[in-house]
Each structure stands twice: as C-alpha cells, then as structure tokens.
Amino acid sequence: MSQHYRTRRTVDAVLAVAAVTIATGSTMAQARPAESAPAVKSLTWTQTPANRQPAILNDIDAHPAANWAVGSDLVDDFQDQRPLALRWDGARWKPTAQPMRTNSTLESVAVAGADDVWAVGEDRADPETTKPLVMHWNGSAWKVVPGPAVPTGSFDEVTIGPDGKPWTAGWASVAGKEHAVVYRYDGNAWQPLTTGLEESINGNALTVISKNNAWLGVNAGLAHYDGKTWMLVNDVPTDGSQIPTALAAAGPKDIWAVGVQHGGGPAGELPLVLHYNGVSWTRIATPAGSAQLYDVALKNNHPVAVGESFETSGDTIVSKPLVLDYNGSQFVKAASPTTADGTLTSADAANGRLWTAGLTATPSGEYAAFAAFAK
C-alpha cells in the first residue's frame, strides 16, 4: 500500500461541465494568484491509451500491487452508461467483464491488494430512485456487493482504511431525509457513520487516518470525524462557496484538499487548494484563471493537483486538461499529458510514477477514456 492515505472525488465531467453557481459569503481570506511563482521541474508524461470510446474514466488508483481505473462506457448517444473497469498489466489497460447490464457508472476505486479491489458508484436502472453501487474484485472477477439498505442514494468515494476495510462516502436517503453519508464495511455489513452529517449535502471526498480520525469533503466545507460524530470545521466556509472534491494525506498533520470556489458559471470557477498542518486549514495560492480541480496525488509526499481549465472560444467554453504542481509555497501550472480538449478527473502515485486519468475529446466528437503517467 502507498505510504499516504489517499482519496479523490470524481465527476461525470463530460455530462456536466458547468458547475451550479452558488452565492458566496466567505470570510476566509482569498489567496493571491501564483502568477509569478517560481517554476517547478517539468513533468514528462507517457500516454497509456485505454482504447475505449465513447467512454470516460472517473478515477484511478495506483497501488504497488495493481493499478486500476474506473468510469463508464457511454451508450445510446450518451443517454445511458455502463460500468467500466480497466486493469494495468504493465504495458496496457485491459478491460474486465462487468456484472452490471443496466444504466450505471463507477465513480471511485480503491485497491487493497491484487485480489482485493473495491469500486463504488451509482445504479441508475431506475433514474427516479438511484441506488448506491458497490462492486468487489476478488482477483478473477467483479461481483456486486449489496449496499446499505437505503431507498435511494449514490456513492462518490471509496478508500481503504488502515485496517484494510473499505470506507465509502456519498449521499443517501436516511430516515426520510437525503444527506451526506459515510459507511464502513466490516466484512459482512455496512456500518453507518453518519452522525453529524444530517444537514450536509453529499460526501465528495474521504480520507481515513484511523478509526477515530477521518476527514470528509462535503458541499458545505470540510467535516472531521472523531470516532463518534462528524463536525464541520470553522476554517472552511460552510455556505457552499468552496467545495472540496478530493483529499490526500501524508499523515495526520499533513493533509491536502482540492476542489472549486464558485464565482459564477464556468468562467467564474476558481481552483481551490487547502492544506492542514495539524492545527488549522489554510488556503494555498493557485494560478490566475478559471479552472476547477478534481483530485490531488502525493508522490513522495509532494502534492500534484489535476482538473480542468475553462477557455472561451466564441460562445463556447472549452475544457482543457490542467495540472498544478506545488513549488513549496504555491501551486503553478505544469505540463499537461495531452494537448487535446478534455478533463483530468483523477490522480494517484505508486512505484515511482504519478498517474492521471480522465477523458479527451476526439475529432469525431466522441469522448475517449484517457490515462498517462509521469516518472
């Protein structure tokens, strides 16, 4: 297992490029754009074609035992999706047979071992009552694992706790009310860890330091778990103006969060980076320009964030893959793994490589699953 606790929040970026505008009222000091920040060593990328289109990748998990990427194949002119799980065999991405035949997608994957991989997402067979989707790879096949007994919901995140058990986050209807949820699987059943989340909307990102120390990114800021209850922290606005969508922790006193600060439509979206030093969360400067971050990876405890920047072309807003690297004080733009239009939805690191995945636009107008690594 990698030497850091990792998590990410991914999106079906191809289906919803523009984020909903939320009124802001933050009292947090705004970080200065890193326009003249010192450069960092350029990343040299190697593309690893997935040979899958129309398709998107929502998440990648790099692990010493195995690398996996998950997302969905797009069918019926993008009206439906089917789960997609690709395994890296050292030379190429190999698709694996899927047990789901109805409209559904995988949002997140977590590798505990070569024969112990978890993936979560959403079963949309009935679009009016979506259900959380959980699947497990036993080394030879994927099998659907019954999720929590909720009438409707969706899982956006799965991560492996220090004890090797999967934790998952998202939203669900509980006791007649929809709100953010976190569950831990004990090998037989899903244990709800939802106390304190009753007023929160969607669990986007989860990182687990210990059974009594976990962090959750929600639509209204960041929440901390002490083993009994979740509590929103005061360092991050709770008005929905800053939404963390990914977390990565090098340890309990060195945690990174990335996401988006809403400013009014795609052109007003700003990249969000926060850092926790064991005492408080502080905003870290990012380059000027409209952008959104979806994930952050730690390579030798060094953070690299990925997402998309928004460029205007006539009346159209075009998404471009975005990589931001940390130079010791602020984040600066780094080399992108592709020049094509598209989005980087995820990143992770293992075995000396930094991996990223997402989607790119093709000349035919379709979307292709995309992955690459940098040493």
Q: What is the CATH number of the domain that holds 338?
A: 2.130.10.10
Q: How many CA atoms lie within 13 A of 232 on its CB side?
A: 19
CA 85 – CA 373 distance, rounded (Å): 18
CB contact set of 91 (below 8 Å; sequence gap of 6+): none
Please report whether residue 296 resides in a domain: yes
Residue 26 has pLDDT above 60, yes or no: no
Q: Is the pLDDT of residue 16 over 60?
A: no
pLDDT, tens digit (0-9, with 9 covering 90-100), for 212-239:
999 999 999 999 999 999 999 999 999 9
pLDDT band, residue 90 (cuts 50/70/90) = very high
- Is pLDDT at 28 greater than 70 in this prediction? no
Instruction: Indicate if the pLDDT at residue 6 is higher than 50.
Output: no
Instruction: Identify the pLDDT of residue 266.
Output: 65
Q: Tell me the residue range of the domain where 57 lies.
A: 5-13+41-374
Per-residue pLDDT for 199 more than 90? yes
Whether the per-residue pLDDT at 25 is higher than 90: the answer is no
**CB 197 within 8 Å of CB 238:** no
Residue with the two structure tokens 């490029």: 17
pLDDT score, position 265: 66
Between 20-29, 87-96, 259-268, the lowest mean confidence (pLDDT) is in 20-29
Q: Is the pLDDT of residue 110 over 90?
A: yes
Taking residue 303's Cβ as centre, other Cβ atoms within 10 Å add up to: 23
Assigned domain for 107 exists: yes
SS (H, E, C) the chain: CCCCEECCCCCCHHHCCCCCCCCCCCCCCCCCCCCCCCCCCCCCEEECCCCCCCEEEEEEEECCCCEEEEEEEEECCCCEEEEEEEEECCCCEEECCCCCCCCEEEEEEEEEECCEEEEEEEECCCCCCCEEEEEEECCCCEEECCCCCCCCEEEEEEEECCCCCEEEEEEEEECCEEEEEEEEECCCCEEECCCCCCCCCCEEEEEEEECCEEEEEECCEEEEECCCCEEECCCCCCCCCEEEEEEEEEECCEEEEEEEECCCHHHHCEEEEEEECCCCEEECCCCCCCEEEEEEEEECCEEEEEEEEEEEECCEEEEEEEEEEECCCCEEECCCCCCCCEEEEEEEEECCEEEEEEEEECCCCCEEEEEEEEC
Tell whether 32 is covered by a domain. no
Tokens of 101: 């035949």
Q: Which two tokens stand for residue 149?
A: 């007994």
Residue 139 has pLDDT above 90, yes or no: yes
User: What's the pLDDT tens digit per position in 251-310?
Assistant: 999 999 999 998 766 667 999 999 999 999 999 999 999 999 999 999 999 999 999 999
User: Does residue 22 lie in a domain region?
Assistant: no
Domain count within the chain: 1
Determine the Cα–Cα distance for residues 360 and 245; give it in Å rounded to an integer: 21
**Which is more confident, 312 or 368?**
368
> pLDDT of 327-352, one tens digit each?
999 999 999 999 999 999 999 999 99
Q: Tell me, what's the pLDDT at 41?
A: 64
At position 318, the amino acid (one-letter code) is V
Q: Once rounded to an integer, what is the mean pLDDT over residues 89-111?
A: 97
Q: What is the pLDDT of residue 167?
A: 98
Each residue of 349-374: pLDDT tens digit?
Answer: 999 999 999 999 998 889 999 999 99
pLDDT of 195 higher than 70: yes
Does some domain include residue 69?
Answer: yes
In a domain, 167, yes or no: yes
Query: Percent of the chain having pLDDT more than 90?
Result: 83
Q: Rounded to two decimals, what is the model's pTM?
A: 0.90
Position 297 in a domain: yes
Q: Is residue 92 part of a domain?
A: yes
Q: What is the mean pLDDT of the chain?
A: 89
